[in-house]
A and B are shown apart, each in its own frame.
Chain A
Amino acid sequence: MIKRKLILIMENKPGALARVVGLFHQRGYNIETLHVDSVKDLSKYKYIEEKLETTFKENQISRLTIETLVSDNLMRQILRQLNKLIDVIAVSNEETTYLKGVLLDENLL
């Protein structure tokens, strides 16, 4: 098992972080490191705004960085489970990104 990094963009809403953290525990994965910020500089996420036909406002979304120790198969499962959370807008690891149910073969975040 290798330490792997995940990046999430999600709605900055009460309880949203708890859903992400709770999911790791529920599914038996462990979090090694966790970092959360509300996003002030939105320029990096233009692509997502275009894709979702929406406009983000300052501090309306959060960016999470999570490091976890898992196998390849489990990584894919974690990505899919996170993508399923209603408040999660996009989630990516080194190779792939889930942008609301659509799997993209690149790391967008």
Chain B
Amino acid sequence: MQALHDEGVELIFGYPGGAALHIYDAIFRQDKIDHILVRHEQGATHAADGYSRATGKPGVVLVTSGPGATNAITGIATAFMDSIPMVVISGQVASHLIGTDAFQETDMIGVSRPIVKHSYTVFDAEEIPKIIKEAFYVATSGRPGPVVIDIPKDMTAPDILFDYSYPDEAIIRSYNPPIDPDQTQIDRAVEAILESKKPVIYAGGGAIASNAEQELFELNKIIDAPVTNTLMGLGIYPASHNRFLGMLGMHGTYQANMAMHNSDLIIAIGARFDDRITNKPSKFAPNAKVIHLDVDHSSVSKIIEANIAVFGQVKNSLKSIKDTLDKKLDLYDSSVLEPWHNQIKEWKSLHGLNYELYKDESDSHPILPQAVVQHVHEITKGDAFVTSDVGQHQMFAAQYYHFDKPRRWINSGGLGTMGFGLPAAMGVKLAFPDDEVVCITGEGSIQMCIQELSTCLQYNLPIKIININNEALGMVKQWQDMNYGGRHSESTYQDSLPDFVKLAESYGHKGIKIEKNSDLKEGLKQAFAMKDKLVFVDVYVDPSEHVYPMQVPNGSLENMFLSKDKQT
């Protein structure tokens, strides 16, 4: 505990159990670090993850051995896929019992190996300060990620005493993440930018991890290129800026996908060209040169070959590009991009997201899920922290809640973990108690971590839960509609849904049910007016609505379904 305090930890999410009891007793006997008792270890990891995404600081989790550790796995995998810094301390059975199939014994290091950046086992109690220092360094540096520390129970026994000192810095001779970029690559990147007539900036979660919003904004003041963000990158460039194209990829905007496909230069910033972005890689942006800025060597040229690779913290790389470009300003005239901007404007006017959706509010129509997000955006003035789960509601939130700041959009992009939204919102609310925190979820996802409503009561966390209820696993159903002849195999359960209002009330919160368009705005306003209460807003929406645009499988970025009956 002392080592965690010395590391600057203020908050731990966890759940006690046999192998962690010595540590829990130490928690009881100190008052510097707050511990949040969740209701399931998955909730602890997602809450720590949400805390980390919103603050940029590493999230800390404490669980016991065996089931405590395995319950944490989904949350660790979620953080790993999205490169979120997290330190997970798991209790382990006593050293002399390891390997004997003792009660609550699991090989946590083995089980978690593929989904951690690194892991440590404590073999000697005196190593604890050094290991904790190293774990935080590894978790937060380079490409961030989760680190597991497995501590056998005897290593935390109160009768072990040693001279404690906390190291000033972690030195790992075999670990040296790149920080500053190589100037030759920067020069090449600037050359390419000077030559380009149709550039696109494509920024992802790595740009947020590196806190590069200012550097990106400053650089694009010069280049004046259109900017698109991945699902993980939303907020790194202000959505209200006229050069912003919206999200790209599977459910990206028409103009963003068209611009990427037809560009002559892609400036990729902390993004990894995953399959939800590229569609079929061999058909991806055929005429584009690629400049790829990343901190991770193995992300570059993994799927799309980079013509120019710039390794380093993307914040520093962006600054170097700007500094170099600054010296060549006489060679650059951003007005050459005018035809390109006009082309993008045309795409936008042809098939941009339908901003007029929510104006159709007569009660003869079911509520549209997009309209719910648009109203939430309006009521929260676009300034809330928004967490989400996974599915249609997640895509609607990403498309229609326009994020102007980074670290406001908190979602499981890589792993796609249902059940993430509510616990993540707890982590955010604990970090920012005075800010509005909204969890946009669906009736499928919310039931995967619903037990955390109890945690919210214990710690008084007035989150607003917007349950976009289409009485089905909407995204699964959409795929079944589009690719499986409308056979809704195991994706519906409308007769067995709980009464969410009563459910929320039984946990001591408020519940509001909205079924008609005419009640939507007022109902949401009421919910947000209850500042000190967690409000569960159960909104029944049109169950037949699909998310569009959607990429046509195995096509290029240009091939999209634009609505149920329109295709590019």
Binding site for B on A (CB under 8 A): 10-11, 14-15, 18-19, 22, 26, 52, 54, 76-77, 80-81, 83-84, 86-89, 98, 100-103
Contact = CB atoms under 8 A, between A and B. Distances in A.
Given A18-B113, A76-B301, A86 B175 contact: yes
A88 B138 CA distance: 14
A84 B114 contact: no
Given A76-B301, A80-B297, A86-B117, A15 B173 contact: no
Nearest to A22: B113
Contacts of B174: 10-11, 52, 86-89, 100
A89 B297 CA distance: 15
Interface string B156-189: 0000000000000000111111100000000000
A54 B173 CA distance: 7
B447 interface: no
B175 A26 contact: no
Contacts of A15: 109, 113, 119, 121
B114 A22 contact: yes
Interface in B298-320: 298, 301-302, 311
B298 A81 contact: yes
Contacts of A81: 298
Contacts of A100: 173-176
B77 to A, nearest CB: 12
Q: Is the interface of A mostly helix, strand, loop or mixed?
A: mixed
A87 B117 CA distance: 11
Nearest to A9: B174
Contacts, number: 49
List 8 A-B pairs, minimum CB-CB distance, nearest first.
Answer: A80-B298, A100-B176, A86-B118, A89-B174, A54-B173, A80-B297, A26-B114, A101-B176
A93 to B, nearest CB: 15
B298 A77 contact: yes
A84 B175 CA distance: 8
28 contacts: A14-B121, A19-B113, A22-B114, A26-B114, A52-B174, A54-B173, A76-B301, A80-B298, A81-B298, A83-B297, A83-B298, A84-B296, A84-B297, A86-B118, A86-B138, A86-B172, A86-B174, A87-B174, A88-B174, A89-B174, A98-B297, A100-B173, A100-B175, A101-B176, A101-B177, A101-B178, A101-B311, A102-B176
Contacts of B109: 15
A13 to B, nearest CB: 10
Contacts of A14: 121
A15 B121 CA distance: 9
A37 to B, nearest CB: 18
Nearest to B176: A100
- The residue in A83, A86, A102 that gathers the most chain B C-beta atoms within 10 A of its C-beta is A86
A80 B119 CA distance: 19
Contacts of B176: 100-102
Nearest to A19: B113
Contacts of B301: 76
B498 interface: no
B138 to A, nearest CB: 6
Interface string B184-224: 00000000000000000000000000000000000000000
Contacts of B99: none
B110 interface: yes
Contacts of A86: 117-118, 138, 172, 174-175
Contacts of A52: 173-174
A108 B452 CA distance: 54
A50 B555 CA distance: 51
A19 B110 CA distance: 9
B363 to A, nearest CB: 53
Nearest to A11: B174
B238 to A, nearest CB: 33
A21 to B, nearest CB: 10
A83 B176 CA distance: 10
Given A77-B298, A98-B297, 12 more contacts: A10-B174, A14-B121, A15-B119, A18-B113, A77-B302, A81-B298, A84-B297, A86-B138, A86-B175, A87-B174, A100-B175, A101-B176
A60 to B, nearest CB: 10
A18 B175 contact: no
